[in-house]
């Protein structure tokens, strides 16, 4: 069954480059990003994983763990990590899940449910759909799902921006407008009446329409 926003993130136990994990236990009381890539020792994935390593401190500031996955073995991940550090300038500083039996990839609908074959037999083309991102909240619910084509590297700065929006809107009754960046004005959600808004936003707001009320980002 396909996963949807708001669903419980499936739990699993898996081997990683940092030992065996039980996913929900590993998340702890914070947020998590699970992202997958088609295959080790491929060009686009090499750039992605190196860039994500460079962003890890930013995710740490947001109480968010990151973990990668592909249908390769943990041994292959370890070997490939040397290439990533050499070419991208960042050592992999987060766990990578080895999923050669496709268990987690199928659990998260990252790959066709009828896919089979060992990692050695499979090509990146066989793993076409495995370039996915899931943001998971402290409640273990899926907050964001993204799937990119095999030939397109992801914009992880955008993932960071969306995480900022999700964390902000989880705390306050606001939404973020088009192309919003942290620190910019936000929108009072329609479910908040003007009376409630007076309490929540005592400095007032700018109403472009009754349903479009703009306020500075809450701090």
89 phi/psi in degrees, rounded to 5:
80, 10
Q: Which residues are catalytic?
A: 45
Instruction: Compute the Cα dihedral for 50, 106, 152, 7 and give only its sign.
Output: negative
Q: How far apart are CA 199 and CA 178, in angstroms?
A: 26
DSSP code for 131: -
The neighbouring-strand residues paired with 65 are: 32
How remote is the C-alpha of 24 from its chain's centroid? Answer: 15
- Contact predicate 80/41, CB 8 Å: yes
CA dist 186 → 38, 83, 159, 208 (Å): 36, 42, 18, 13
- Contact predicate 52/91, CB 8 Å: no
């Amino acid at each position: 069954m396909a996963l949807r926003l708001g669903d419980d993130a499936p739990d699993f136990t898996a081997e990683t480059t940092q030992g065996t994990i039980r996913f929900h236990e590993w998340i702890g009381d914070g947020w998590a990003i699970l992202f997958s890539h088609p295959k080790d020792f491929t060009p686009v994935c090499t750039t992605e994983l190196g860039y994500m390593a460079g962003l890890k401190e930013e995710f740490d500031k947001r109480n968010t763990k990151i973990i990668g996955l592909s249908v390769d073995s943990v041994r292959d991940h370890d070997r490939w990590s040397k290439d990533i550090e050499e070419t991208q300038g960042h050592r992999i500083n987060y766990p990578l899940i080895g999923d050669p039996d496709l268990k987690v990839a199928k659990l998260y609908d990252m790959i066709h449910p009828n896919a089979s074959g060992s990692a050695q037999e499979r090509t990146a083309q066989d793993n076409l759909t495995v370039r996915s991102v899931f943001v998971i909240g402290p409640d273990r619910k899926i907050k964001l799902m993204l799937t990119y084509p095999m030939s397109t590297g992801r914009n992880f700065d955008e993932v960071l921006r969306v995480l900022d929006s999700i964390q902000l809107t989880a705390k306050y009754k606001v939404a973020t407008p088009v192309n919003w960046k942290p620190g910019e004005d936000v929108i009072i959600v329609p479910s908040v009446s003007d009376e409630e808004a007076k309490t929540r936003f005592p400095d007032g707001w700018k109403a472009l329409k009754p349903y479009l009320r703009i306020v500075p980002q809450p701090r």
